[in-house]
Amino acid sequence: MTELERQIRRFILRALLAARGNPMTDETLKHAVRGAFQHIAFTASELDSHVRDCETDNLIAGTNDEVFGLMWALTPKGKIKAQQL
């Protein structure tokens, strides 16, 4: 994992922690990543990959909401990691 990937992962965790337990829409989370790393021209698949990597490591979990679509929240493991940052 590169340093940039670690920074993005840390940002995702901090962003979800800042939401105070409220899930974030997939679009909102990815928009936040784009805003925080404006110097990088992410493709949609790159953003998907970064978010899915966090999910694969059981740091975040996604659920489908009928109204808002895919929503992301920290898992207990992710919350502990985010609080350590």
Residue type, 16: L
Tens digits of residue pLDDT in 7-62: 999 999 999 999 998 999 999 999 999 999 999 999 999 999 999 999 999 999 99
Of 1.10.10.60, 1.10.10.10, 3.40.50.300, 2.40.70.10, which CATH number belongs to 3-80?
1.10.10.10
- Residues 62-71: contacts with CB within 8 Å, 24+ apart? 62/26, 63/23, 65/23, 68/25, 69/25, 69/26, 69/27, 70/25, 70/26, 71/23, 71/24, 71/25, 71/26
Neighbour tally for 20: CB within 10 Å: 6
pLDDT classification of 1: cutoffs 50, 70, 90: confident
Domain residue extents for the chain: 3-80
Tens digits of residue pLDDT in 66-76: 999 999 999 99
pLDDT of residue 10: 97
- Token match 């404006």: residue? 38
